[in-house]
Amino acid sequence: MENGQNILVIIPAYNEEGSVGKVVEEIHTHLPQVEVLVVSDGSTDRTSERARARGATVLELPFNLGIGGAMQAGYQYACQRDYDIAIQVDADGQHDPKEIVKLLRSLEEKMIDVAMGSRFLGTSEFKSSLMRRMGIFIFSRVISMIVGQKITDPTSGFRAASRKAIQLFAFNYPQDYPEPEAVVLLHQCRLKMAEVPVGMSERYSGESSITKIRSVYYMVKVLLAIFVDCFKKPPLLRQEGERC
Amino acid sequence: MLIKIQIIVGVLSMVLLWITFELIRKKRLREEYAILWLFTGIAVFLFSLWPEFLLSQFFVRITGIFYLSAVVLIAFFFLLLIVFHFSVVISKLTGQNKDLAQRYALLELEFKELSRRCLPSDRIPL
Mean pLDDT of A5-33: 92
- More confident of the two residues A216 and A35: A35
**What are the chain B neighbours of A69 within 8 Å (beta carbons)?**
98, 101-102
Q: Is A184 exposed, middle or buried (0-12, 13-18, 19+ CB in 10 A)?
A: buried
Is residue A235's pLDDT more than 80?
no
> Residues 68 to 107 of B: which have CB under 8 A from any A CB?
98, 101-102, 104-106
- Say if residue A1's pLDDT is above 50: no
Tell me the chain A residues in contact with residue B104 when contact means C-beta distances shorter than 8 Å: 62
Confidence check: pLDDT of A53 > 90: yes
The H or E element that residue A57 is part of is strand A57-60
Would you call B105 and A175 a contact, using CB atoms and an 8 Å cutoff? Answer: no
Q: Which fold has domain A7-229?
A: Spore Coat Polysaccharide Biosynthesis Protein SpsA; Chain A (3.90.550)
Judge: B109–A77 Cβ closer than 8 Å, yes or no: yes
Determine contact: B114 vs chain A, CB below 8 A: no
Kindly determine whether residue A76 and residue B106, on different chains, have CB atoms separated by under 8 Å: yes
- Statement: residue B67 has pLDDT above 90: no
What is the Cα–Cα distance from A75 to A10, expressed in whole angstroms? 8
pLDDT, tens digit, 9 for 90 and up, residues B73-109: 677 777 888 888 888 889 899 999 999 999 999 999 9
Q: In what order do the strands lie in the sheet with A7-13?
A: A57-60, A35-40, A7-13, A85-88, A159-161, A114-118, A193-197
Average pLDDT over residues B41-47: 80
Span A62-86, mean pLDDT?
Answer: 95
Residue A117 has pLDDT above 80, yes or no: yes
Distances (CA, A) of B107 to A61, A111, B57, B111: 11, 33, 61, 6
Beta-carbon separation of A77 and B104 below 8 A? no
Question: Residue A37 carries which DSSP code?
Answer: E
Instruction: Quote the pLDDT of residue B46.
Output: 79
Please answer yes or no on whether A59 and B98 come within 8 Å at the CB atom: no
* Most A-contacting residue of B98, B102, B112 (CB-CB within 10 A), to test interface: B102
CA distances, A141 to each of A82, A113, A156, B33 (Å): 35, 22, 15, 45
Q: Which of A58, A59, A62, A23 is nearest to A42 (CA)?
A: A62
Give residue limits of the domains in chain A. 7-229
- Pair A38, A56: CB distance under 8 Å: yes
Flag if B105 and A73 touch (Cβ within 8 Å): yes
In chain A, what residues touch B105 (CB-CB under 8 Å)?
39, 59-62, 73
User: Is residue B1 scored above 60 in pLDDT?
Assistant: no
> Distance, in angstroms, between A129 CA and closest chain B CA?
34
For residue A58, the chain B residues in CB contact (below 8 A) are 109
Residue A73 and residue B102: Cβ atoms within 8 Å? yes
* The pairing of beta strand A159-161 with beta strand A85-88: antiparallel
Model ipTM value: 0.81
> Predicted confidence band at A28 (pLDDT cuts at 50, 70, 90)?
very high
The mean pLDDT value of chain A amounts to 86
Pairwise CA distance, residues A154 & A144, whole Å: 9
Phi-psi region of B17 (alpha: psi -120 to 50; beta: other; left: phi over 0): alpha
Would you tell me the crossing angle of helices B2-25 and B67-118 to the nearest 10 degrees?
Answer: 20
Average of pLDDT values for A145-170?
Answer: 92
Q: How far does B102 lie from chain A, in Å, by closest CA?
A: 5
Chain-chain contact of A63 with B101 (C-beta, under 8 angstroms): yes
* pLDDT tier for residue B59 given thresholds of 50, 70 and 90: low
Q: Which residue of B has its CA nearest to A37?
A: B109
pLDDT confidence band for A71 (50 / 70 / 90): very high
In angstroms, the CA A57 to CA A39 distance is 9
Amino acid at A28: H
pLDDT at A88 over 80: yes
What is the three-class DSSP state of A196? strand
| DSSP state letters, A69-119 | HHHHHHHHHHHHTT-SEEEE--TTS-B-GGGHHHHHHHHHHTT-SEEEEES
Minimal C-alpha gap between B18 and chain A (Å): 39
Nearest chain B residue (CA) to A70: B102
The enclosing H or E element of A167 equals: helix A163-171
Q: What is the mean pLDDT of residues B51-55?
A: 64
Predicted pLDDT of residue A41:
94
